[in-house]
Each structure stands twice: as structure tokens, then as C-alpha cells.
Amino acid sequence: MQDSLDDWSHEAAEMGEVYRNSMCNIAASSASDSSQGCLYPRNPRILQPEPLENYGDELKDFYIFNRCFPQKPFPLYKRAWVLQEALLAPRTLDCGKSQLHWRCDVVKASEECPGGYPVGKGVCLSHPAHSSSCPAQSLRAMVSEMNRGKEDGYEHTEEPRPSTLVKSLALTDAGLETAVKHWSKIVEAYSDMDLTFEADMPIAIHGAIEAFRPFLGQCYAGMWEYTLPAHLVWMPTWPALVTTVLHCKRPLVKRAPSWSWMSLAGKIEYKQTCWLHPDYSLLSHGTQVTTFPGEIRLHLKAPIFKATYVGDVKSSIKRALGTCLILSSKRSNITVINKNFDVKWEIMGYYVDEDKNSEEKSTLRACFDVQEEEDAARDIYLVAITEKSGTEGLVLTKRDDGMYSRLGAFYAMGAVRKIFQDREKTEVILI
């Protein structure tokens, strides 16, 4: 029903089933909006690869491909709603300006390569499935891989794991590891896509979420039960230059808790499976997730420190000294720098004993998700999550009710890491 919110909510949740049970999805991949169609004037003869003559026994099957016609971008694959269509449809016919493209789990082909693209050839990059925002595999293929060879499509015969948050990174489940890899790629693609209505983000990926649920547990606004708290340390994709302002922002309508990547509008760098490395360890663990109307709370036991705002005076001094390192004097408080290496906070009463023989100097760097939130921030809190060659955690602000909201993430290296390792764990509630 037109303009019915209840009807929209019901039908939107069913879109995943529509595409999953389809025979073939026809995509207007080169159309910039709904006013454009699938067919364009073109000369198909210029698409055919021209074989080169054989110049010896060692040179065979060489072809010249025409690259004078436009290949990218494909505007359709910048739209967030299209991602689950591409993931769920068993077959897709992409209608481009220069040619038609075909993809399924068996072959990727086009008018220039009707028999399928050569394996390992750069020409395959012209296919829409090799756009950064378009998945190279369908969800059916991903689930098959996650089932480790079981040819059961979307069926998963095993019972879901017990509802408990992970307390150890010593994972031996190959299906879980594969699921994390695939989900990480989906997050990085999806977060960089456009939505007309910002509040649609959780529902526009609902079909994909349902396929991952048997492997990753309960989903809380794009964050999975079996990957918490390790996957809390996601980051916005940082610009190449530290002086460049981040493009991430908070949507006007709250659509997720602050600890979820869905709370931001902008491209996210997900941690993928680095935390599955045997050298990674958790410094915190989740105890429970509680849900309320319009709010999801994550309860942690974690080491946490308050960092007091010291303003821009010390930042100017620090830049003048030309160093971004934590002050090594035993009588100096531990300092916290931002992404531009400005000293803006101090952990009062804690000091660093530097190892003079170590080449790794102590650094504690806080990176905010939204530039405006850093500009407005005063005292912050640092909660440690994981530990490997460095300590990673979250930058938080404390609310009047004693709970915390995420502002960003931090990274610590050198001797300063010891304060997090030695700190007693206390309860932290994130909203």
C-alpha cells in the first residue's frame, strides 16, 4: 500500500526472499536513476577481442581488447538497497552502456567474453562484479563455503551456538572464520553505498543478515554476537592525508547504538579476521546484551581509564618540539594524541617507564569517528579491547546516567600498553 509505513516495514523485510527465490535478476547497472533503462546505442562489433598471430610456440592465445568504451563506474552499485539484491539473486544480467554482463556462481561472462572471462586476466576487472561495491560471490556460494563443502544451500542442520559472548579468541571453527571474512567484506562495501532514507540501513541488508545468523549468532544492528567484543574496534576509512577532514557523520535519525558501525554514515574499515590470529588476545569480554525500545546496551568487563582534556596549549608545544611520542619523564602524566599528533588529553597520575633499549616508543593515539565530535570533546575514556603487537580499544564519552557512548577508537604501542594489561576490569555499559 502506497505511503503505508506498516506495509513498507513488512514488505521490505521480505525483499530478501524475493531475490533469493528468483530465477534471474535484470540490473540496469549503468543507469544513474529510474528515468534511464537497460539498453543503449552501441556497436557490438568493437567488443570482440582480436586474436594476435602466433609468434612462436611459447606465445599462444594472445588477444587485444578494446578499452576505448567506458567500463566504470556502474551507478547502480552505489545504491545500498542493491547490495542484497546482488548477493541473493542466483543469476544477474547486468545491462551496461557498452555491453551486457552475466554472472552466476558458475561463470562470469559478457559480450566480449561470452564463454567466460579468462582466469587471472585483467579483462575481468571490467565486469560489474569486480566493482568495489558489488560482491564477487553470491550468498549461496558464501553459505556453501561456510558449511565447508555441504551442498545444502541456505539450510544449516546444526543447532545455533549457545547465546554467549566470546571470552576467548582461540577459535577453531572454520565455518565461523569464513563467515567473518565474508561479513567483513560486506560491511566495507555496504557502508560506502548511498541511501535516500538514512533509517533504511538496518532493513536494506536484512536478507544478508538472515543468511549469516546460523554462523555468527544474534545480530545487533550489524554487530554479531560471536564476534563481540573483538569486532567493536572498527574504524572509519581514514583519508590519505591526516590533515584531511573525515567524511563520516552521524545520521540525523538514530539507527543503531554508538558501538555499531551502522551508527555512522560513511565508509567503514572492518577488522576482518586479524583478531582470529593466535597471537591476539582479549583484554575485555562481553557479559550480556540488553535490548530496550530504541536502545541496545552492551555490557563489558574491561580495563578503562579517564583521559583529562588539557586543551590545545600542549598541542602547540608538542608540534613545536617535532615529536608525537608520549613524554618519557617519570613525572609526566601519560599523554594522548589525536590523529594529527596533537596532545589533547592526559591520563593523570600514571607514568611510563621507557625501555631505553627498545626501538618502539610509547604512543597512545585516539582517532575519532566524526571530526565535529572531537572538536567538542573534553574528558574522554579509553577502554581496552584487544592486544597483540599493540593495544586496541574504544574512545568513549561518559553520560550523566553512568553509561558510555562511542566516539572513536585508540591504538597504544610501547610501554604504555602495560597500564591496560595491569588494570582491573570494571563494568562498562555501552549504548
Structure confidence at residue 324 (pLDDT): 44
Strand segments (E) across 65-196: 91-95, 100-104, 108-110
Structure confidence at residue 127 (pLDDT): 77
Which has more pLDDT, 319 or 135?
135
Return d(Cα 180, Cα 174) in angstroms, integer: 10
Return d(Cα 13, Cα 412) in angstroms, integer: 42
Angle between helix 206-216 and 174-190 (nearest 10): 160
In angstroms, what is the C-alpha Rg of the chain?
25
Q: Which residues pair with 404 in a beta bridge?
A: 398, 430
pLDDT band at residue 249, thresholds of 50, 70 and 90?
Answer: very high
Q: Are 248 and 264 in contact (CB under 8 A)?
A: yes
Which has more pLDDT, 317 or 35?
35
* C-alpha cell at position 220: 545487533
Q: Mean pLDDT across the chain, nearest whole number?
A: 82
Question: Using one digit for the tens of pLDDT, what is the confidence trace for 131-166?
Answer: 666 777 889 999 988 886 344 444 444 444 444 455
pLDDT band at residue 51, thresholds of 50, 70 and 90?
Answer: confident
Cell 552475466, residue located: 102
pLDDT band at residue 327, thresholds of 50, 70 and 90?
Answer: very low
Nearest to 190 by CA among 213, 165, 214, 207: 207
Which has more pLDDT, 57 or 398?
398
Nearest to 198 by CA among 237, 255, 258: 255
Q: Are 266 and 80 in contact (CB under 8 A)?
A: no
* C-alpha cell at position 357: 633499549
Q: Are 217 and 225 in contact (CB under 8 A)?
A: yes
Please tell me the least confidently modeled range out of 48-52, 287-291, 383-387: 48-52
- Report the relative pairing of strands 219-220 and 91-95 from DSSP bridges: unpaired
**Residue type at 430 in one-letter notation:** L
Structure confidence at residue 92 (pLDDT): 94
Structure confidence at residue 161 (pLDDT): 47
pTM equals 0.84
pLDDT band at residue 235, thresholds of 50, 70 and 90?
Answer: very high
